[in-house]
Structure formats: structure tokens, C-alpha cells
Amino acid sequence: MLSAPYLTGHYEPVADEATAHDLTVRGAIPPELNGRYFRNGHNPKPGDIPTHWFKGAGMIHGLRLREGRAEWYRNRWVRTPALDGAPCHRADGSIDLTASVAGTHIIEHAGRILALQEANLPFELTPELDTVGAYDFGGRLTTAMTAHPKEDPVTGELHFFAYSPVAPHLIYYIASAEGVIRHQRTVEGAGPSLMHDFAVTANYVVWLDMSVVFDPAETSGIPYRWSDSYQPRIGLLPRSGGGEVIWYDVEPGALLHVSNAHEDEHGRVIVEGPRFDRPAWESSWKWWVGAPGYPVSPNGGALHHRYVLEPGKSTAREELLDTLITDFPTVNENYLGRRNRYSYAVAFPGSGLDGMGIVKYDNDTGARALWRGGPGRVPGEAVFVPAADATGEDDGYLLTLVSDAAARTSELLILDAHDLTAPPVAVVELPRRVPGGIHGSWIED
């Protein structure tokens, strides 16, 4: 088990916490980048061998940028009960919602920094990455919380959900811009599928009830498997709070992540994201659990895909948009839930691409642009930050942690989102190697 792919090479955990100040910068950090870049990921403590990538303890890697300087880097474990081996179930068999690894995502909302793992409560952190403790919205949240909440750029509300293999399978929440849960609703008709992500539009919440379904026979610690017998669907729930879910049948598939969704001028809902078919899902699953025959990367072949949900129809129209293998899609979040022209994603080897990179998609023209990492260089999710004087959707920067497998070094790259073929705007040299991780956020001052 020591040779599991999520414990070796680029994903080998670091053994300690570190702090460094006044980091070396090549190029010039844009002066408007005043804030913190935090990225979460799984980093089990020495001697801890998890059965699945997603079971490893959560660790945040953070950088503080201010007035053109990289003031500090630090990495910290999220200090949850699970970090010290607490079981996820209580003596009575119920789930302990605080026994989280908190290793999937990190966000800020209403002044609170929250580390997220979808099977548990969030954990609040300080701006210096010290753990405050489990956070339950003042006692209003009594279930788990998704690792992919959506903050509406117009209202400031935070939309999120809890899903479960047992009824009720899906509960939808809205927290105000001030962080108060003001709406909670059980979503009727949802099934026991793996709902890692969802989407919102101006008028709807978009649910992904697709082909990966609860299976208690799965022994890896994540009890879900691909099902050929389950009818995959995408559901639309009115955000107004009234009405029932409108379900659309789709072809067998799975989306771990959504790029974005919006409504067009004809009232259709457009949903885009990297889609797995069964071979791609099962190939990736082998990597996540370290099963024989796993691929060289954690993404076995998800492809950029579009769903069109038309009023009055019961089946979605689907379209393959590109053949690059991608995951970890992002957008300019000022356009979240509204029509966006551009999206970004990590591109994996395959379909003519050697090595890894960051791809930019143009939804108007169908064109794509690539930033190529080069031999042995592995980028992570690219977080978009608007420029101070932005007039266009792609006027801004992409922040991504890039590690060099051979040199065992890491850097924060600041790329020009308008032109990925240009040299990086700035490169911040980190004092240590950063293992491969999952999601992160830019938290502006």
C-alpha cells in the first residue's frame, strides 16, 4: 500500500508544517493582488496510510501577497478530530460530523474562512491558518455540507447542500451574505448518487443525479460505484423556493465538477463541465484507491461536455466540446451562474498533449489556448482573480501552484488570463515542495 499513487511522486505527503517570510519573486506581482491564496489537499501524517486519496488528512498551503510582495508561505494541517485518528462514527453508530479530514476545498464567506469536506461540517480557520474548530452556522446546520458551495456574485448569498446515501438524499441550503442560514429544503425525488458538485443560475439550482451511486459493497472507504442500471438525470429546482424539481434524463456519465451554468435567451439552461464515461471513471477510481492498473494521473479521461436543458423536454441535449482530458474547471466568478465566455481547467496528458497544462476555453468561438507546464511540471487548479482595471471577462490573472517532479520544488505562478501563451506575470518561489492537491481560493483583503 505504500506505493499507492496518492502517496508517491508528486503526491507524496510532506511530513511537517513550515513558515517562510519574504519569498523570492521573479517578475512583478500585480499591485492589486492584496490577499491570501489558499489551497487545500490531502496530506496524511507520517505513518498514516489511508485506503483512498480522499481519506488523507487535510492540509492548507497558503501565501500572503501584499503591495507587490510575497510576505509569507505557510502550510498547516486542519486540526480536526480525524487528524488524530478519531473514528467517523459515534458509539451509537451515528456519524460524527466533526470527524472530518477537511481536505477538499477552502473558501471565505461572511468573514469566515472554511475548510470543507462534503461528508462533514466545515472547519473554520484564521487568516494565518490556525484551526478555530467545527462551524455549524450558529447551530442551524445539522448535516454535512458540500465542498463546492456557490456564492452568488449578485446577491452575495451562499448556496450549498448536503447529500446522503440514505433518505433524505438531498437537502438544499441558502445562507445570506451575512452568513445566516435563511432557507432549508429537502429536495424530493433525488437519489442516492454521488453529488460532489452542483450549479446555480439566475433562477435555478442544478442537481447532478448521475451514474455513480451508493454501493455498500465498495470497500475502499468511499462507498460509491458506477451503476449501469441507474437512470442518470440532471434536475432544475427554482431558486425562488417554490415549485418542484424538473428532471432531465441524460446519457450515462458523471460530473465531479461543473465549469458553470446559465440560462440563455430562450429559457434553456446550459450546463458545462468535464464528463466521465464509465471507462474514464473506473480508470480514475483505480488511481484514487491505488488499485492495480491505475493510470499515471488521477483523471482517467473526463472531457469538456455541454448539456442543454430545454423547457418542455424530458431529455437533455448533449455535446462533446473538446477531446482534451481535463478537470478542476474554473471561471471568473463574477460570471458564476450567468453566461460566461471563458472557462479554465487543468489539462492532463493524452489526446495529443504531452505533459500537463492549463487550458482556456472560448465558448463563443470554440477555440482553446494552452499554457504548457513542460516536462515533469504539474500545475494545480487555476484560480481566476480579476485585474483592478478589468473591462473584459478575461482581464485578470490565473493563480496556480506548479511543482517540478525532478527538482522537487514548487512555485506559485501568476498567469495572464487574457493570454496564456505569454510568459508568467510573476513567479513566487516556495520554500518547499507542495504535493498535488485539490481546490483553493483567492481571499481578497
**Contact by Cβ (8 Å): 264, 209:** no
Which of 337-362 are b and which e, b meaning 16 or more Cβ less than 10 Å from the residue's Cβ?
bbbbebbbbbbbbbeebeebbbbbbe
Single-letter amino acid, residue 12: E
Q: Which residues pair with 270 in a beta bridge?
A: 262, 308
Question: Domain boundary residue among 335, 370, 405?
Answer: 370
Q: Are residues 87 and 202 in the same domain?
A: no
Report if residue 140 sits inside a domain: no
Which of 211-223 are b and which e, b meaning 16 or more Cβ less than 10 Å from the residue's Cβ?
bbbbeeeeebebe
Q: Are residues 348 and 384 in the same domain?
A: no
Q: Determine how many CB atoms are found less than 10 A away from the CB of residue 421.
A: 11
Question: Domain boundary residue among 370, 405, 428?
Answer: 370
For cell 485506503, what's the residue? Answer: 51
Q: Are residues 223 and 192 in the same domain?
A: yes
Q: Are residues 84 and 203 in the same domain?
A: no
Q: What is the pLDDT of residue 158?
A: 98
Q: Are residues 207 and 323 in the same domain?
A: yes
Q: Are residues 80 and 6 in the same domain?
A: yes
CA angle 419, 420, 426 (to 5 degrees): 95
Report if residue 251 sits inside a domain: yes
Report if residue 127 sits inside a domain: no
Q: Which residues pair with 224 in a beta bridge?
A: 214
- In the 8-state DSSP scheme, what is residue 13? P
Q: Are residues 363 and 400 in the same domain?
A: no
Q: Are residues 315 and 438 in the same domain?
A: no
DSSP SS3 for 285: helix
Q: Could you list the pLDDT tens digit for every one of the 445 residues in the chain?
A: 457 999 999 999 999 999 999 999 999 999 999 999 999 999 999 999 999 999 999 999 999 999 999 999 999 999 999 998 877 777 776 778 998 999 999 999 999 999 999 999 999 999 999 999 999 999 999 999 999 999 999 999 999 999 999 999 999 999 999 999 999 999 999 999 999 999 999 999 999 999 999 999 998 888 999 999 999 999 999 997 778 999 999 999 999 999 999 999 999 999 999 999 999 999 999 999 999 888 877 877 899 999 999 999 999 999 999 999 999 999 999 999 999 999 999 999 887 788 899 999 999 999 999 999 999 999 999 999 999 999 999 999 999 999 998 999 999 999 999 999 999 999 999 999 999 999 999 999 9
Q: Are residues 290 and 414 in the same domain?
A: no
Report if residue 211 sits inside a domain: yes
> Which H/E stretch holds residue 319?
strand 317-330
CATH code: domain of residue 164: 2.120.10
pTM higher than 0.75, yes or no? yes
- Rounded distance between C-alpha atoms, residue 323 and residue 321, angstroms: 7
Report if residue 257 sits inside a domain: yes
Q: What is the pLDDT of residue 353?
A: 84
Q: Are residues 328 and 209 in the same domain?
A: yes
DSSP SS3 for 416: strand
Q: Are residues 339 and 360 in the same domain?
A: yes
- In the 8-state DSSP scheme, what is residue 363? T
Report if residue 144 sits inside a domain: no
Report if residue 419 sits inside a domain: yes
Q: Of 401, 353, 351, 343, nearest to 374 (Cα)?
A: 353
Tell me the C-alpha to C-alpha distance, in Å, between residue 271 and each of 14, 84, 200, 317, 445.
Answer: 37, 40, 10, 11, 32
Report if residue 112 sits inside a domain: no
Count of domains in the chain? Answer: 2
Tell me the C-alpha to C-alpha distance, in Å, between residue 439 and each of 17, 241, 298, 402.
Answer: 19, 30, 14, 14
Question: Domain boundary residue among 353, 370, 387?
Answer: 370
For cell 450567468, what's the residue? Answer: 338
| Range(s) of the domain holding residue 235 | 149-370
Q: Are residues 57 and 187 in the same domain?
A: no
Q: Assess whether the previous peptide bond of 168 is cis (omega < 30° from 0).
A: yes
